[in-house]
Structure 1
């Protein structure tokens, strides 16, 4: 498949096919997901499935794009908020963790890493459709805060990455490696508070 994926055609069973594919991909990964299983989960025939998505990679990327777009859209709330940096960073931190620590985020990361050698485009498209979008929105907010003399940052992209990594701490790895089944809200709050303190100590005016 070329690097520029063909947009799938939309129809009355599009959402049905997409949900069935998401369930199967999340349960079995990319390689383990068969077209037969996806068609069965979606409640459609293989012919109908192929009429929407002639390529399993295209179907996987549409599942990833759809999930990431939904998550990235919610990030606009904290990026456009006319609040002080601490308030916006707290909202950003909660959003980042809601994406990174979600079942979708963890399982999609595993799939992309597992398939990185054979299908390098999968990881790139997933990154561009989700994590990179959120990073860009956070960077835009930081630029606005700098312009308003609320923060002092020379490298906005680096600062956005640093804040995201501070929010993740070791929680993502613990879920990724099945050390923990879930992360409590109390721990998320503690980590976000620490991330904000460190970030504003470095970049606060």
Structure 2
């Protein structure tokens, strides 16, 4: 997903598009296989783990941090650390669902389940879970 494709959307729409893209990547059979291999071999080949992280999760987090910094500049959010906030969002998208798929406990979610998971992560990210009464 090219950030330029989602610029101009409101932040919620941007997070949904970003989250759906990440969910699709995280749940793809090819990436699940790569992830399993990297985790299994990272202790023996530290460069493998570092390269995977820098070219995947860290890059996605950095791109999202740029989006959040722009949203903060527009006054849409108030974040002390946009990279940390982006990291939290990426973690919510990966969620235990990813771990269950990696461990072979369940198949990847279908499109409806993936969308529900993304929408939930976006809502929690933007609104938190505290009562607003």
Contact 1:139/1:156 (8 A) holds in 2: yes
Q: Quick check: 1:142 aligned with 2:78?
A: no
Distance in 2 between the 1:165 and 1:127 partners? 13
Shift of 1:113: 1.1
Equivalent position of 1:112 in the other structure: 38
* Unaligned runs of at least 5 residues, structure 2: 129-133
Equivalent position of 1:199 in the other structure: 125
Tell me, what secondary structure is at the counterpart of 1:170?
Answer: helix
Equivalent of residue 91 in structure 2, options 116, 141, 165? 165
Tell me, what secondary structure is at the counterpart of 1:164?
Answer: helix
Contact 2:68/2:82 (8 A) holds in 1: yes
Distance in 2 between the 1:137 and 1:187 partners? 25
Q: Quick check: 1:84 aligned with 2:13?
A: no
Contact 1:75/1:137 (8 A) holds in 2: no
* Unaligned runs of at least 5 residues, structure 1: 1-73
Shift of 1:77: 4.4
Structure 1 residue runs of 4+, over 3 Å off? none
Which digits, 9 at most, give the CA deviation of each residue in 1:59-103, with x for residues without a partner?
Answer: xxxxxxxxxxxxxxx24345x511111100000100111111111
Contact 1:139/1:157 (8 A) holds in 2: yes
TM norm structure 2? 0.89
Distance in 1 between the 2:102 and 2:4 partners? 28
Map 1:20-39 → 2, pairs under 5 A: none
TM norm structure 1? 0.59
